[in-house]
Amino acid sequence: MTDRMTQHIDGTTRLAGVIGWPLQHTLSPAMHNAAYRALGLDWAYVPLPLREAGDLPAVAEALRALSFVGFNVTMPYKARMLDLCDEVAVQARLAGSVNTVHVKDGTLIGYNTDGRGFLESLSVDVGFEPAGCRAVVIGSGGAAGAAVVALVLARAAHVSVVSRRIEPAQAIVERVLAYAGQTALTAALLDETSFGLISEADLIVNATSLGMREDDPLPLDPSGLREEQVVYDVVYSPDPTALVIAARERGLRACNGLGMLVGQGAVSIEIWKNAGVTVVPRDVMRAAAIEALRARADGTAEVA
């Protein structure tokens, strides 16, 4: 309720938003509008729920025509957005998905800010720097692709993409391989044969949606985890996730994906504002996200 009561909107207000389905529980409007107020920006951020994938091209064209400052894209449209942008940053192309679009002079420019948010959160939330590490990324969707690209840019020594289907995992490796430098990349099935990869890793990343629902199984068997390892779960609700709880019980450093969500949103604002904003207040955005999560848990959140 705070956002709607204090947000002044008139004919000069610039709009931003997030496209996805469903969006009932998105934290992005709370985070973004809090940041805009802190920065003194006459902007407003709105949810843009889109049920039918076939309507995505028309919506993208509408946002171009309406002169949105930019918009975010979340599940299940990140990969589809790649082909709808006029220009796509290399990092987004390698990740295989676009989660941030800058509407600049009528041009749609696609970025992937998930990787930047992921690396920020690894450093801030668990104090882990990936340079020289061995990492396993579980999953083969947009979040997995972004994590793999980020780990390559951070000069990880070895990254394994582990998935229940080998083809999409191999596709990530093939996209990134030419840019991998000294980082070794492999793809493997998530089964008993990948246990060795997971047990030898310094960093284990759950880049699947497993954990969002109460009855979800864990994405991996925690019994083989070692205290020296770090576990990062891109799922941010519930807090902590079942995987984070299991890892911490075994003495590991572990965190959920709230920091990644905050980081990718902050980088989106930096892109939309160009050089006009030097530092987007991550602390303000995180506090707004936590408040929204608590309101949801208490049943006091507004219905969008």
Helix, strand, coil share of the chain (percent; to 5)? 45, 20, 35
Contacts of 273 (CB under 8 A, 6+ apart): 41
Q: Please name the helix (run of DSSP H) or strand (run of DSSP E) that holds residue 138, with its range, or none.
A: strand 134-138
Q: In 3-state terms, what secondary structure has residue 256?
A: coil
Q: Measured between alpha carbons, how far is 87 from 34 in angstroms, rounded to an integer?
A: 29
**Residue 159 backbone zone (phi > 0: left; psi -120 to 50: alpha; other: beta):** beta
Residue 19 DSSP class? E
* DSSP character at residue 228: T
Angle CA 2–14–292, to nearest 5: 25
Phi, psi of 180 (to 5 degrees): -75, -20
User: What is the spatial distance between Cα 72 and Cα 153, in angstroms, rounded to a whole number?
Assistant: 23
**Which position among 78, 134, 253, 282 bears the catalytic label?**
78
d(CA 156, CA 181): 10
SS3 of 58-109: HHHHHHHHCCCCEEEECCCCHHHHHHHCCEECHHHHHHCCCCEEEEECCEEE
Active site residue 104: no
Q: Where in the sequence numbering do the catalytic residues fall?
A: 78
